[in-house]
Homo-oligomer: A and B are copies of this chain.
Amino acid sequence: MERVYKKVELVGVSSKSFDDAVNNAIEKASKTLHGLAWFEVTEHHGRIADGKVAEYQAVVKVAFKID
């Protein structure tokens, strides 16, 4: 029961949607980190080009268990 998690703060970017931006961040994290447990989205922003949303950017804290 006495365990410790670490949170890393990522920014996922997507041209499709905020949910996709969140998924991009988590899939990237899962390539180098094991034991991913939960995530928290703390900010939603993005880039505009030609008067439209060009990029959805989600700031995501990802937590994983430290061995």
A33-61 interface code vs B (CB 8 A; 1 in, 0 out): 00011111101111110011101100101
Whether B45 contacts A38 by the Cβ 8 Å rule is yes
A27 pairs with B39, CB closer than 8 A: no
A48 contacts B28, CB within 8 Å? no
Given A1-B15, A2-B14, A26-B52, are A40 and B38 also a contact pair (CB < 8 Å)? Answer: no
Q: What are 13 sample pairs from A and B whose C-beta atoms fall under 8 A apart?
A: A2-B24, A5-B11, A8-B9, A17-B19, A19-B56, A26-B48, A26-B51, A27-B51, A27-B52, A28-B66, A40-B43, A40-B45, A48-B62
- Which A residues form the contact surface with B (CB < 8 A)? 1-15, 17-19, 22-31, 36-41, 43-48, 51-53, 55-56, 59, 61-63, 66
